[in-house]
Structure 1
Amino acid sequence: MSETVLRQHAEHAFAGELEALRKADADSGRPKPPRWKLSPWAVATYLLGGTLPDGTAITAKYIGPRRIVEIAIATLATDRALLLVGVPGTAKTWVSEHLAAAVSGDSTLLVQGTAGTPEEAMRYGWNYAQLLAHGPSREALVPSPMMRAMATGAIARVEELTRIPADVQDTLITILSEKTLPIPELGEETQAEKGFSVIATANDRDKGVNDLSSALRRRFNTVVLPLPATAEEEIEIVSQRVKSLGRALELPEVPAAHEEIRRVVTVFRELRGGLTEDGKTKLKTPSGTLSPAEAISVVAGGIALAAHFGDGTLRPADVAAGILGAVVKDTSTDKLVWQEYLETVARGRDGWTDFYRSCREVSA
Structure 2
Amino acid sequence: MSVNESSGERLPGERLSGAEKLRPHAEQAFAGELAALAAQDDRPRPARWKLSPWAVATYLLGGTLPDGTVITPKYVGSRRLVEVAVSTLATDRALLLLGVPGTAKTWVSEHLAAAVSGDSTLLVQGTAGTPEEAIRYGWNYARLLAEGPTRDALVPSPVMRAMRDGGTVRVEELTRIPADVQDSLITILSEKTLPIPELGQEVQAVRGFNLIATANDRDRGVNDLSSALRRRFNTVVLPLPGTAEAEVEIVTRRVDQIGRSLDLPPAPGGIEEIRRVVTVFRELRDGLTGDGRTKVKSPSGTLSTAEAISVVTGGLALSAHFGDGVLRAGDVAAGVLGAVVRDPATDRVVWQEYLETVVREREGWQDFYRACREVSA
131, 138, 152: which is aligned to 2:165? 152
The number of aligned residues is 361
Give 5+ residue unaligned stretches, structure 2.
1-16
- Name the structure 2 match of 1:71: 84
- Name the structure 2 match of 1:190: 203
Distance (Å, rounded) in 1 between the aligned partners of 2:40 and 2:221: 45
CA deviations 1:97-126 (Å, max 9, x no partner) are 000000000000000000000000000000
Whichever residue aligns with residue 18 of structure 1, its letter is: L
- Name the structure 2 match of 1:229: 242
CA deviations 1:148-184 (Å, max 9, x no partner) are 0000000010000000000100000000000000001
- Name the structure 2 match of 1:342: 355
User: In 1, are the aligned partners of 2:196 and 2:202 still within 8 Å (CA)?
Assistant: yes
Confirm or deny that 1:13 pairs with 2:26.
no
- Name the structure 2 match of 1:100: 113
Distance (Å, rounded) in 2 between the aligned partners of 1:73 and 1:253: 34
1:216-295 paired onto structure 2 within 5 Å: 216-295=229-308
Residue 250 of structure 1: how far off its partner (Å): 1.1
Distance (Å, rounded) in 2 between the aligned partners of 1:52 and 1:252: 30
SS at structure 2 position matched to 1:198: strand
Residue 2 of structure 1: how far off its partner (Å): 3.2
Residue 253 of structure 1: how far off its partner (Å): 2.1
Residue 74 of structure 1: how far off its partner (Å): 0.5
CA deviations 1:118-138 (Å, max 9, x no partner) are 000000000011111111111
131, 135, 148: which is aligned to 2:148? 135
Under a length normalisation based on structure 2, what TM-score does the superposition of the two structures give? 0.95
User: In 1, are the aligned partners of 2:194 and 2:204 still within 8 Å (CA)?
Assistant: yes
CA deviations 1:19-39 (Å, max 9, x no partner) are 0000111xxx31011010000
Distance (Å, rounded) in 1 between the aligned partners of 2:364 and 2:314: 22
Under a length normalisation based on structure 1, what TM-score does the superposition of the two structures give? 0.99
Whichever residue aligns with residue 19 of structure 2, its letter is: E
Whichever residue aligns with residue 172 of structure 2, its letter is: E
Distance (Å, rounded) in 1 between the aligned partners of 2:261 and 2:63: 23
Confirm or deny that 1:85 pairs with 2:98.
yes
Confirm or deny that 1:24 pairs with 2:50.
no
Residue 82 of structure 1: how far off its partner (Å): 0.2
Quote the sequence identity (%): 78
Residue 338 of structure 1: how far off its partner (Å): 0.4
Whichever residue aligns with residue 34 of structure 2, its letter is: L
Distance (Å, rounded) in 1 between the aligned partners of 2:26 and 2:318: 28
Distance (Å, rounded) in 2 between the aligned partners of 1:109 and 1:312: 39
Residue 51 of structure 1: how far off its partner (Å): 0.2
Say what the alpha-carbon RMSD is for the aligned residues: 0.6
Distance (Å, rounded) in 2 between the aligned partners of 1:225 and 1:294: 16
Distance (Å, rounded) in 2 between the aligned partners of 1:89 and 1:155: 23
Distance (Å, rounded) in 2 between the aligned partners of 1:222 and 1:330: 32
CA deviations 1:313-346 (Å, max 9, x no partner) are 1110000000000000000110000000000000
Residue 222 of structure 1: how far off its partner (Å): 0.5
- Name the structure 1 match of 2:47: 34
Distance (Å, rounded) in 1 between the aligned partners of 2:267 and 2:237: 35
SS at structure 2 position matched to 1:3: helix
